[in-house]
A = this chain, B = another copy of it.
Amino acid sequence: MEYLKNPGKGVITDVKGRLRCYKNDWLHAFHSGPGIIAPMAFMFFASAIPVIAFGEQLSKATDGALTPAETLMSTALCGVIHAIFGGQPLLILGVAEPTIIMYSYLYSFIQTRIGKELFLAWAGWVCTWTALFLLLIATFNLCAIIHRFTRLAGELFGMLIAVLFIQEAIKGIIEEFNVPEDEEGSTEEKYHFQWLYINGLLAVIFATGVLLTTLKSRNARSWVYGTGWFRSFIAEYGVPVAVIIWTALSFAIPSKIPSGIPRRLDASFPWKSNSHWDTIVGMGRVPGGYIFAAIIPALMVAGLYFFDHSIAARMAQQKDFNLKKPSAFHYDVFLLGIMTFICGILGLPPSNGVLPQSPMHTRSLAILKRQMVRRKMVQRAKDGIEEKVSHSEIYGRMHDVLIEMEASSPPKTVKQDLTNLRESVVKHDDKGNKKEEFDPEKCVDLHLPVLVNEQRLSNLGQSILVGVAACAMPVIRLIPTSVLWGYFAYMAIDSLPGNQFWERLLFLFVTKQRRYKIIEELHASYIESVPFKYIFMLTVFQIMYLMVCFGITWIPIAGILFPFPFFLLIFIRERLLPKVIPTQHLQDLDSPEYEEVYGHSYMPNDQHRKKGESEGDENEVEMSPEEILDLMTTHRGEFKHRSLSYHHPSRKHHQPQGLQASSSATQ
């Protein structure tokens, strides 16, 4: 264990690296002007709505001991701390589903033992232990372990969360037909059968309505109809708009219906009572045995947090985003430990780095114009290849485009980019035999990528807004609970595309004669490179494993161990699977990069060039940079690498290099 030799080395390196650009993190933010407000507002809604939904789930599971007010407060508090003191300010923090599940188990465990009044205090001990473990992980440089959680584990975990979301949606709707568990007043009018039934039917309608409207809005950016501004607005604010619309509709019911129908969120300002300030006092009253029993859930939570936080951080700073400032994996886990401790003693559920919000944040800060330049340059280069001019000439043409369009950028960056690009393009001339392999898209991607506005203000701003929302509980309490059940279903469905486990699962339902339909469209490269037999085997294994994991969540006390099978997956992936599936195929199926191949019928660049020819350049097609990014990333925010064809020579460069391939991105 080489890591252990230099305790604290990783954290110190990270801190040094980030300190060097700390001042710039703020300066850059204030220089970017009012443009920073849009990503701030966007991220606020993307953070706050799931946190409210999780809060409601937690409130149901803990009989109201923790409510949306607490989850919002934790998200705001940790967000502010991280924005100011965090290593990677692009990382978004929030209370996430695994936390909710863990807290539900903690509550049901402790409630029957030392009573519900000591729940927050005991959870405080769990947080304290968790904090300790996280600090140890960071200090002893164990962050590299994250690379041993491959796509297999990540996607399986993602699917489990999706299944739990769907379960939550269904459970939530069914419960709308019954008197809530913690209420006794079944003599009240609103708890008579017919009113409960009306409440339930309204819940079905609202939840379905929210699900359909949010799903519809998801791809608004690629709609054919409507102006670009309108489509962007729907794509970015579809979820909050849907929540607002359906909440408004819920007030359109006739006045003859007793108040309390439809059921709405139940949460008040968190510091209404002293319970939160008393947590630290209560911690002293927890019996010693239970303090040590808290180690077991703490181990699970620490594993989960480390896993979630690091993956979210990695996704927020993918290589393709071309970030200029250093990463801080070790230090961020260290800080996460401190924040977990603070939340624990305040009686709040802790926050950690969240997906898909973190890459979404980076994406919303990407500087847009460069994408447009990229498209134009690739096109110019391809024209050049067709005319069979030399690569120096090609470079010359690409250079002109850049100079022409980048007139407003700081000249220094442009110059550096050009130098890199030049070397990359011209070197193909030297080795005459490699000429065929020159792929302008790849060259430009490598040397002229997107630029991200790396700063701390957008994260700070959105966290403060979440804090404001936590204080605006009277407004949030207007939301019907059923709207949140629909939103849970949406989160589940929204997380599926781009999850290769899910895509392979669907692929099993395609008959052999029908597979050409998949190959014709954009498709993941493993479909062509791995024999169906192995795809089938791995997918069936994952389905069974998923069922086991899901089964564990149903076992009352053992449920607390639900993250354990995912830690076990490291062993299964490294030792057992290679014995059944040939290594090369396993690497293709579990590749760290998401690689896509164009179908026979889809050649986008080609088609745009034709278009250009017939209409002239001034009639440039309208395709916003966000739309291009939509095409290039999964819903989870993962970049997809595209090749023209599976057999295309240029594809070799994209060939996944096994498990270690993306390690460098996270060092």
Contacts and interface: CB of A to CB of B under 8 A. Distances in A.
B509 A226 contact: yes
Nearest to A212: B212
Contact of A506 (B195, B201, B225): B225
30 contacts: A193-B256, A194-B194, A194-B198, A197-B198, A197-B256, A197-B257, A198-B201, A201-B201, A201-B202, A201-B205, A205-B208, A208-B208, A224-B510, A224-B514, A224-B517, A224-B518, A225-B509, A225-B510, A226-B509, A226-B511, A228-B514, A511-B622, A513-B621, A513-B622, A514-B621, A516-B621, A600-B610, A601-B601, A601-B603, A601-B604
A516 B609 CA distance: 12
Contacts of A600: 607, 610-611
Contacts of A193: 254, 256
The 4 lowest CB-CB distance pairs between A and B, nearest first, are A513-B622, A201-B201, A225-B509, A194-B194
Contacts of A506: 225
A204 interface: yes
A511 B208 contact: no
Contact of A622 (B197, B224, B514, B622): B514
A225 B603 CA distance: 24
A252 to B, nearest CB: 13
A224 B602 CA distance: 17
A195 B520 CA distance: 53
Interface of A: 193-195, 197-198, 201-202, 204-205, 208, 224-228, 254, 256-257, 506, 509-511, 513-514, 516-520, 600-604, 607, 610-611, 620-622
Query: How many copies make up the complex?
Result: 2
Contact of A197 (B254, B620, B621): B254
A602 B225 CA distance: 21
Nearest to A619: B513
Contacts of A510: 224-225
Contacts of A198: 194, 197-198, 201
Contacts of A519: 611
Contacts of A195: 194
Q: Which of A204, A506, A516, A520 has the most CB of B within 10 A?
A: A516
A169 to B, nearest CB: 16
A518 to B, nearest CB: 7
A203 B567 CA distance: 49
Contacts of A224: 510, 514, 517-518
Contacts of A610: 600
A607 B205 contact: no
Contacts of A517: 224
Given A510-B225, A601-B601, A516 B611 contact: yes
Contacts of A511: 226-228, 622
Given A205-B204, A225-B506, A602-B601, A607 B194 contact: no
Nearest to A509: B225
A299 B108 CA distance: 77
A227 B512 CA distance: 9
Contacts of A509: 225-226
A607 B601 contact: yes
Contacts of A204: 205
Q: Which of A195, A256, A510, A511 has the most CB of B within 10 A?
A: A511
